[in-house]
Chain A
Amino acid sequence: MREVAIVAFGQSDHRRDSAEVSEVEMLMPVLHEVLDAVGLRAGEIDFTCSGSSDYLAGRAFSFTMALDGVGAWPPISESHVEMDGAWALYEAWTRLLTGEAETALVYSYGKSSPGDLREVLTRQLDPYYVAPLWPDSVSLAALQAQALLDAEDAEDSGADERALAAVAARSRTAAEDNPHAQVTGSPPPEALLNEPYLVRPLRRHDCPPVGDGAAAVVLAAGDTARRLCRRPAWIRGMDHRTEAHSLGVRDLTRSPSTRLAAERAGAFEAPVDLAELHAPFTSQELILRRELGLGEGVRVNPSGGALAANPMMAAGLIRLGEAAAAIHRGAADRALAHATSGPCLQQNLVAVLEGDVL
């Protein structure tokens, strides 16, 4: 397999509301940041791929405006997925694997502030039988969390509301070191348990903040990557899998698609020292950790993860970017990055990144 690496990563500051800037204006500084990091202009990139959602923007073809911001002139080789940017990165990765491109720019963005995200996300459910009931995203996650707590209780294996609070406290404390995070700092887990429920068994800290944000990465192949980056984050494997949409046919306490994607990405061939998991809800981190076999020695979400900033359509790409940046810095040697999409972890992507031995 051809060697491909993430050689640059940038993200915006994630904020609850960015009404004063358009999506393009939110994205532009991030695009320039990653292009400047590798000393390339948009026209020198071989392939560009983005991820976003018309439903967040409230208009059709919203990605066309972002393309204007990229400056696609002379015309560029470009594509778009209506998915989290992690899947745009996957498409770009396959393009580099064919040898058709040496470099790729990947970006994604989402502004949740113009609408009510919980209601907007109901529109991605089965339009005939489920969406008309308007089950919102937090309620669906609560269903999953309760199923997990019930199962753990039955097995007497210890995952309880205290374990959820511990995930929240750890993530938001870690986010204090992340200048882009939307929510930082946390009382100790015991104190969090005194908070009222938002949707039982989830409290506010078990849920991600709603916010606006953008992210971008640059990919490069082989020697080009070595030239552009002191320590490229090599993509050793990447895979993604989907599950059934209907919650009634899934065991919500498991994530077989995550496990399969990880297996195909080679995640179990050697231990990782860092994992960036796209777990918007605390209970989902517990599910993912088990599927991925992450032991206590693995640093999980040192960025704070999606519990500290969860810009729709970008949060998955940010996990790949944060994992890569840790390798760039020398803070990790073998990292796992995960992205999710859809209700209750329906669709999952796993990538394994490695740095050359220093």
Chain B
Amino acid sequence: MTKEPVAVVGIGQTKHTAARRDVSLAGLVREAAVRALEDAQLTWADIDAVVIGKAPDFFEGVMMPELYLADALGAVGKPMLRVHTAGSVGGSTALVASGLVAARVHRTVLTLAFEKQSESNAMWGLSLPIPFQQPLLAGAGGFFAPHVRAYMRRTGAPSGIGALVAYKDRRNALRNPYAHLHEHDLTLEKVRSSPMLWDPIRYSETCPSSDGACAMVLTDRAGADRAPYPPAWMHGGAMRSEPTLFAGKDCVSPRAGQDCAADVYRQAGITDPRREIDVVEMYVPFSWYEPMWLENLGFADEGEGWKLTESGVTEIDGELPVNPSGGVLSTNPIGASGMLRFAEAALQVRGRAGEHQVDGARKALGHAYGGGSQFFSMWVVADTPPAD
């Protein structure tokens, strides 16, 4: 049985910011959804199902908020699914939505992910102590810093690589009107001298806490034919998970990430990702994760990722631009961050990324991860439909 090809015909996102006090949760998600519908030139009536994702409910303090959001997202009378796979959720949500189209269960699906971090406190939401389970009392940074240190020790990477990534992504964000951080006066020196938070991660090497939402309209071949703007075509999508902590886990380069990438490349017929992929939107919440994921995703050999970063390959005008949108380091509405990576990859191959458009981008990777580097979701999109 062949799957139905899946096309991205609408993309919408909010202007991300520390606190959107002017809108409710419903207002926030509706803003992104309406923009995605406008991009696709469709109405609510054209949508057959809604698939929504976000990170833990404790981040806003609303249990199963999709119930309350059903009205705002035009889901009344329609199927509505709610996905939650930790930080990878934005990507997973898009993949679940794509599955509905691929399986020909629905023809046109609205998928949306959001986080309104100002409603609560994510650090606190991550740190609720539970008996007999390892607490994450220092939030995400405290969990990931030792893994960054392990990467540096393992590869001999010089200590300044992370600052290069942060400086690059924040400069890229200046070209993206929707990005949260627009630090016009940022210099490399300022990144390097910013306060140390979780050694070796400095303040300017961490992601912000954002309010924001991202939405996409996914449709089948017939839907793509009617789309007013060029669609992005899905060539592969995969999820992989592994346990949080166990003796054999490689926290620097988790096998689940490697396997997930290999599966997506296989589906997309990619044998040399470094040459065949034109742009990458990678989930980099702490700057050092760019060189780490370059290796994990097969763009660089083991121990060589930091050299790509150092040589400028990942700059927006480099051979392999990584996060031309500014990435998670510039915008982090947690639940939406993964979908933003997927959506930005699609924007690039649609040629609709505006000032942060990478010239000639025809094939792009969207990447997300979550939990203790244990949940991965990825897709490859291109400007032409997949071969039959």
Q: Are B241 and A82 within 8 A (Cβ)?
A: no
Q: Are B63 and A75 within 8 A (Cβ)?
A: no
Q: Are A260 and B56 within 8 A (Cβ)?
A: no
Contacts of B239 in A (CB 8 A): 77-79
Q: Are B128 and A60 within 8 A (Cβ)?
A: yes
CA distance A82 to B96 in the complex (A): 13
Q: Are B82 and A83 within 8 A (Cβ)?
A: yes
Q: How many A-B residue pairs have CB under 8 A?
A: 191
Q: Are A257 and B77 within 8 A (Cβ)?
A: yes
From residue A261, how far is it (CB to closest CB) to chain B in Å?
A: 8
From residue B257, how far is it (CB to closest CB) to chain A in Å?
A: 9
Contacts of B63 in A (CB 8 A): 53, 55, 120-121, 123-124
Q: A92's closest neighbor in chain B, by CB? A: B99
From residue A78, how far is it (CB to closest CB) to chain B in Å?
A: 4
Which of B58, B75, B84, B99 meets A95, CB within 8 Å? B99
Which of A57, A67, A127 meets B241, CB within 8 Å? A67
Report A84-108 CB contacts with B as 1/0, cut-off 8 Å.
0001001100110111100000000
Q: Are B64 and A98 within 8 A (Cβ)?
A: no
Which of A144-152, A224-232, A236-244, A268-276 forms part of the interface with chain B? A236-244
Q: Does A197 contact B (CB under 8 A)?
A: no
CA distance A311 to B336 in the complex (A): 30
Q: Are B85 and A79 within 8 A (Cβ)?
A: yes
Q: Are B374 and A82 within 8 A (Cβ)?
A: no
Q: Does A68 contact B (CB under 8 A)?
A: yes
CA distance A332 to B71 in the complex (A): 38
Q: Are A241 and B372 within 8 A (Cβ)?
A: no
Report B108-133 CB contacts with A as 1/0, cut-off 8 Å.
00000000000100000110101011
Q: Give the interface size bracket for B toward A.
A: 35 or more
Which of A175-183, A286-294, A342-350 forms part of the interface with chain B? A342-350
Q: Are B243 and A82 within 8 A (Cβ)?
A: no
Which of A55, A78, A87, A123 meets B240, CB within 8 Å? A78
Q: Does B387 contact A (CB under 8 A)?
A: no
Interface of B, helix, strand, loop or mixed by DSSP:
loop
Q: Are B70 and A60 within 8 A (Cβ)?
A: no
Q: Are A82 and B83 within 8 A (Cβ)?
A: yes
Q: Does B184 contact A (CB under 8 A)?
A: no
Which of A72, A95, A346 meets B242, CB within 8 Å? A72
Q: Are B255 and A243 within 8 A (Cβ)?
A: no
Contacts of B85 in A (CB 8 A): 79-80
From residue B125, how far is it (CB to closest CB) to chain A in Å?
A: 5
Contacts of A243 in B (CB 8 A): 70, 76-77
Please provide the chain A residues from 276 to 330 with a CB less than 8 Å away from any CB of chain B in the complex.
Answer: none
Q: Does B78 contact A (CB under 8 A)?
A: yes
For B1, B60, B103, B248, the residue with the greatest tally of chain A CB atoms inside 10 Å of its CB is: B103
Q: Are B68 and A245 within 8 A (Cβ)?
A: yes
Contacts of B105 in A (CB 8 A): 94, 97
Contacts of B242 in A (CB 8 A): 72-76
Q: Does A341 contact B (CB under 8 A)?
A: yes
Report B230-270 CB contacts with A as 1/0, cut-off 8 Å.
00000000111111111010000011100110010000000
Q: Does A61 contact B (CB under 8 A)?
A: yes
Q: Are A22 and B86 within 8 A (Cβ)?
A: no
Q: Are B128 and A341 within 8 A (Cβ)?
A: no
With A59-B130, A59-B133, A343-B67 as given contacts, are A75 and B255 in contact (CB-CB < 8 Å)?
yes
From residue B2, how far is it (CB to closest CB) to chain A in Å?
A: 8
From residue B110, how far is it (CB to closest CB) to chain A in Å?
A: 13
Report B125-151 CB contacts with A as 1/0, cut-off 8 Å.
110101011000000000000000000
Q: Does A126 contact B (CB under 8 A)?
A: yes
Q: Does A54 contact B (CB under 8 A)?
A: yes
From residue B340, how far is it (CB to closest CB) to chain A in Å?
A: 19
CA distance A87 to B70 in the complex (A): 16
Q: Are A79 and B92 within 8 A (Cβ)?
A: yes
CA distance A57 to B83 in the complex (A): 17
Which of A48, A80, A126, A241 meets B77, CB within 8 Å? A241
Q: Lowest 9 A-B CB distances belong to which pairs? A: A60-B56, A75-B256, A97-B103, A78-B241, A82-B84, A124-B63, A55-B63, A123-B63, A75-B242
Q: Could you write out 25 A-B pairs with CB less than 8 Å apart?
A: A22-B132, A54-B57, A65-B133, A67-B374, A68-B243, A71-B243, A72-B243, A73-B243, A74-B255, A75-B242, A80-B83, A82-B82, A90-B81, A94-B99, A100-B3, A120-B63, A123-B61, A125-B68, A126-B68, A127-B62, A241-B77, A241-B78, A244-B71, A246-B71, A347-B80
Given contacts A64-B372, A98-B103, A244-B76, 13 further A-B contacts (CB under 8 A): A53-B57, A53-B63, A58-B130, A65-B133, A73-B243, A75-B241, A80-B84, A81-B82, A82-B57, A82-B82, A91-B96, A97-B104, A243-B70
